[in-house]
Chain A
Amino acid sequence: MKKFDLLLTGVGGQGNILASDIIGDVALTAGYDVKKTDTLGMAQRGGSVISHLRIAAQVFSPLIKEGEVDILIGFEKLETVRWANYLKPGGIAIINNYAIPPLSVNQGLEHYPTDAEVKNIIGQRTDKLYLVDGSQKAAELGNARTLNIFMLGCLSKFLPFEIKDWEVGIALHLPERLLKLNMTAFELGRKEIR
């Protein structure tokens, strides 16, 4: 059994915790041991939110070591580069091309990293960077909250789980009326990774 250490980063309210819950259930269904831990510095109030998700035959520590993340899934650019050191050399980074500037940036006191800087930072670890238009695609679908399922669609291309397991996992965590739309977002996500 291969191991997959995933780090999901974002800002409170973006739905990355739910996304990591879904991945956990899908991995469990696929017969893996799973551990997941979220660190939320007051997520409700716009703080940063990260989830460590470890999938393997047997997992001990729920926290991933720095430099050992196989796939970094970023819902927001700044929050993703903040954790770039966790990515292993040659790992995969899937980043939603979207910025939520913190207050200090809005007030003109601090600098938000440019796209070139984002690419440079991640580039020091890997050339497998996928900058995806998740927020835009979700908005086009008419529901910005589908972003997390879109990101799962992107991620699914790199994990050995079957589409039907993803469907079951997603259905477990979302109300039925939202399922169809979210499965469309999932498909869009899959198409985004070529």
Chain B
Amino acid sequence: MKKLLSGNEALALGAYHAGVRVATAYPGTPSTEILESISQFKDIYTEWSTNEKVAMEVALGSSYAGARTMVSLKQVGLNVAADPFLAAATTGVKGGLVVINADDPGIHSSQGEQDNRRYAELAKIPILEPTDSQSAYDLMQVAFDISEQFDTPVMLRTTTRISHSKSVVDITGQRQLREQKMEFPRQMQKYVMLPVNARVRHPLMEERLVKLAAFGDTFAFNQLEKGEKKLGIITSGIAYQYAKNVFPNATILKLCLTYPLPPELLKKFAAMVDKILVVEELDPFLEDHIKAMGINVIGKEFLPRLGELNNDVVTGAAVKADLLPASQPLEKISIPAKLPMRPPLLCPGCPHSGAFYVLSSLAQRLKLPGSKQTDKTSTLVITGDIGCYTLGAYPPLNAMDTTACMGASIGQAIGMEKAGISNKVVAVIGDSTFLHSGITPLIDAVYNQSKITVMILDNSTTAMTGHQEHPGTGFTIQGDPAGKVNIENIVKGLGIADVKTVNAFNLKEVRAALKDSLERDELSVVIVRGNCAVKVPKKVNPRAVDKELCNQCGICLLIGCPAIQTEGPQPVIDGTMCMGDACTICEQICPRKAIKPASPVKVGVNK
């Protein structure tokens, strides 16, 4: 049966057909949909883990017990999981263990650009890279076999473009499940990594690489496509597709096992062609390793190390490298005025908006649009974290000063305070992020007697990545009831005395709590609770601006709510977007009380 599947859907289906029994993950773009997709099969165990490190450890245990297991994570997720990832590489596996790692060239939605093939090299484990959804489906099945045959975790590396593109998959297989009893026979030398045992494992890892390299020489998915002799292309992943478009006549070596590289196959290929260009995204990973084998290739002196490739970029590089003749570029359209950008915004009715409005006002950062007023020296420093709430960094809210990696806000705040800045420091962190990696730094704050204020924005979901459940929501990925962790109890359990919980949609309450905490000379936590607008089932009583009462002061525009628009200087509320009774933030800040429930809206032009 032929179907259009995204790379992520194809990976999930391939794993299911390969007999995976346990799948773990923490959400992150672009890998999120892999677990979501495989969780539709009720006969396997799937979990959203607390964070990637835990996901990797649960997977490792499951593999030790004999189950075919997979972990999926985004590239920075592997930073978090690096410790157990390297441990897994050392101990090896029992049931096949596949780590699906999704890189994000072009930084579509990450806090950085990194080439995680380097991690597999560090861990001395194999990398498989699909070139489209069909190959994702096929390779997933092979991945488990390789893992078991070579006693190693396998990195299956995808990129945003592979994960999020749909292409045709011929679904040939069906679920193959071994009859098997789950058991863990003790084996001290393999599973207890005391130095004496780790010393035994290391040479096995080196041997493993040698065997894998030889395996790659005849691996059916490393494919040689014969073409003209004058140009050879070595490529992998999505770059293969661009190479096929740009060099239709070249001889191409498509590598799907990209680490370790197949020495004999590469030598054979090099002997077949006059010149070799390596086409790969991000780092010169293949290129460096091929050069180290003594094979002469060109690559990154023409192709960028940054961002995604595409046909235009590869063509440009080919022209620079004299591999293609320059062609007359199509004339660009002249655009009369600069087109306005459309940055993402917090949704209408977002529970984070009010919290940031208060924070911004306490930090004296609110500025009317277009006003010439210069930034006052802020009394506060606001360390931030990653989630929808990172959008609070943008104008008009301007209420976030740092974003580094998940969970960093609290540690950064402690560090600023200890370094001795004179401002009070507030750390802002979301609920999923807090549970992911905010607890250990909060312990640090208690232990080291820090006096920062921590704001936990609890919208009861992992909104940024598409509203996944987490340990605080009380539901599993499949929507079944689950254990529910209480954030107040965690915080109080650490021994923090000043802990307040406030309603995100009551600005007076938020303001009073925050102001009180900021004035105190002790560690404090304010939990701001309110449902994510996307989770609110129904919009009731959208608000409207009473033009008689409104004096066009523009204060309501400082929330940055997309439902509040302008007709000339007059603010107006788009009733089809307004969340109404569920929010009322603008109503609370309007000094003239000009914002009120509108008369019921007619079903009109929707946006």
A contacts, CB < 8 Å to B = 11, 13, 21, 24-25, 28, 33-39, 41-42, 44-48, 59-63, 65-67, 78-79, 81-82, 84-85, 89, 100-113, 117, 120-121, 124-125, 135-136, 138-139, 142-145
- Which residues of chain A come closer than 8 Å to B391, judged between CB atoms? 45
Of all chain A residues, which has the CB nearest B564?
Answer: A106
- Which residues of chain A come closer than 8 Å to B369, judged between CB atoms? 107-109
* A25 and B4 contact, CB distance less than 8 A: yes
* A135 and B605 contact, CB distance less than 8 A: yes
* A61 and B560 contact, CB distance less than 8 A: no
In the docked arrangement, what's the CA distance between A41 and B29, Å?
A: 11
In the docked arrangement, what's the CA distance between A124 and B336, Å?
A: 12
| Given A61-B242, A85-B333, A135-B605: A107 touches B566 (CB 8 Å cut-off) | yes
- Which residues of chain A come closer than 8 Å to B341, judged between CB atoms? 102, 104
The answer, among B164, B241, B311, B565, for a CB contact under 8 Å with A38, is B164
B contacts, CB < 8 Å to A = 2-4, 108-109, 132, 161, 164-168, 238, 241-242, 244-245, 310-312, 315, 330, 332-347, 369-370, 388, 391, 396, 466, 534, 557, 560, 562, 564-566, 569, 576, 603-607
* B566 and A79 contact, CB distance less than 8 A: no
- Within the complex, what minimum Cβ distance (angstroms) separates A169 from chain B? 11
- Which residues of chain A come closer than 8 Å to B606, judged between CB atoms? 135, 138-139, 144-145
In the docked arrangement, what's the CA distance between A13 and B330, Å?
A: 33
- Which residues of chain A come closer than 8 Å to B2, judged between CB atoms? 28
- Other A-B pairs beyond A38-B164, A110-B338, 7, CB < 8 Å: A28-B2, A35-B166, A37-B166, A41-B109, A63-B311, A65-B312, A102-B341
* B161 and A37 contact, CB distance less than 8 A: yes
In the docked arrangement, what's the CA distance between A73 and B338, Å?
A: 22
| Given A33-B168, A47-B344, A110-B338: A42 touches B109 (CB 8 Å cut-off) | yes
* A24 and B166 contact, CB distance less than 8 A: yes
- Which residues of chain A come closer than 8 Å to B332, judged between CB atoms? 85
* B342 and A124 contact, CB distance less than 8 A: no
- Which residues of chain B come closer than 8 Å to A108, judged between CB atoms? 369-370, 566, 569
- Which residues of chain A come closer than 8 Å to B566, judged between CB atoms? 106-108
Q: A11, A103, A111: which has the most chain B beta carbons within 10 Å?
A: A103
* B340 and A111 contact, CB distance less than 8 A: yes
- Which residues of chain B come closer than 8 Å to A111, judged between CB atoms? 337-338, 340
How many A-B residue pairs have C-beta atoms within 8 angstroms? Tell me.
155
- Within the complex, what minimum Cβ distance (angstroms) separates B9 from chain A? 12
* A78 and B109 contact, CB distance less than 8 A: no
In the docked arrangement, what's the CA distance between A109 and B371, Å?
A: 11
The answer, among B4, B108, B168, for a CB contact under 8 Å with A41, is B108
- Which residues of chain A come closer than 8 Å to B340, judged between CB atoms? 78, 101-102, 104-105, 110-112
* A45 and B346 contact, CB distance less than 8 A: yes
In the docked arrangement, what's the CA distance between A138 and B604, Å?
A: 9
| Given A62-B241, A65-B310, A85-B333: A47 touches B165 (CB 8 Å cut-off) | no
- Which residues of chain B come closer than 8 Å to A39, judged between CB atoms? 108
- Which residues of chain A come closer than 8 Å to B603, judged between CB atoms? 139, 142-144
- Which residues of chain A come closer than 8 Å to B604, judged between CB atoms? 139
- Within the complex, what minimum Cβ distance (angstroms) separates B240 from chain A? 8
Of all chain A residues, which has the CB nearest B569?
Answer: A108
The answer, among A42, A47, A110, A121, for a CB contact under 8 Å with B333, is A121
Of all chain A residues, which has the CB nearest B335?
Answer: A121
In the docked arrangement, what's the CA distance between A77 and B68, Å?
A: 50
* A44 and B534 contact, CB distance less than 8 A: yes
In the docked arrangement, what's the CA distance between A60 and B167, Å?
A: 10
| Given A28-B2, A62-B161, A109-B370: A103 touches B335 (CB 8 Å cut-off) | no
* B605 and A144 contact, CB distance less than 8 A: yes
The answer, among B333, B339, B342, B370, for a CB contact under 8 Å with A46, is B342
- Which residues of chain A come closer than 8 Å to B315, judged between CB atoms? 65
- Which residues of chain A come closer than 8 Å to B167, judged between CB atoms? 34-36, 59, 62
In the docked arrangement, what's the CA distance between A42 and B576, Å?
A: 21
| Given A28-B2, A65-B311, A107-B566: A102 touches B342 (CB 8 Å cut-off) | yes
In the docked arrangement, what's the CA distance between A47 and B345, Å?
A: 7
* A42 and B339 contact, CB distance less than 8 A: no
- Which residues of chain B come closer than 8 Å to A145, judged between CB atoms? 606
Of all chain A residues, which has the CB nearest B394?
Answer: A103
* A101 and B108 contact, CB distance less than 8 A: no
- Which residues of chain B come closer than 8 Å to A46, judged between CB atoms? 342, 344-345, 347, 562
* A125 and B333 contact, CB distance less than 8 A: yes
| Given A38-B164, A67-B330: A78 touches B342 (CB 8 Å cut-off) | yes
- Which residues of chain B come closer than 8 Å to A63, judged between CB atoms? 161, 310-311
- Which residues of chain A come closer than 8 Å to B333, judged between CB atoms? 84-85, 121, 124-125
* A79 and B342 contact, CB distance less than 8 A: yes
7 A-B pairs whose Cβ atoms sit less than 8 Å apart in the complex: A44-B466, A45-B345, A62-B161, A102-B343, A117-B337, A120-B336, A124-B334
- Within the complex, what minimum Cβ distance (angstroms) separates B544 from chain A? 16
| Given A37-B164, A45-B391: A81 touches B338 (CB 8 Å cut-off) | no
In the docked arrangement, what's the CA distance between A145 and B576, Å?
A: 12
In the docked arrangement, what's the CA distance between A69 and B109, Å?
A: 26
- Within the complex, what minimum Cβ distance (angstroms) separates B561 from chain A? 9
| Given A63-B311, A78-B339: A41 touches B605 (CB 8 Å cut-off) | no
In the docked arrangement, what's the CA distance between A78 and B342, Å?
A: 9
- Which residues of chain B come closer than 8 Å to A45, judged between CB atoms? 344-347, 388, 391
| Given A37-B165, A81-B335, A106-B557: A66 touches B312 (CB 8 Å cut-off) | yes
* A60 and B345 contact, CB distance less than 8 A: no
- Within the complex, what minimum Cβ distance (angstroms) separates A59 from chain B? 8
* A139 and B337 contact, CB distance less than 8 A: no
Q: A102, A138, A142: which has the most chain B beta carbons within 10 Å?
A: A102
| Given A101-B565, A105-B340, A120-B336: A61 touches B311 (CB 8 Å cut-off) | yes
In the docked arrangement, what's the CA distance between A129 and B432, Å?
A: 47
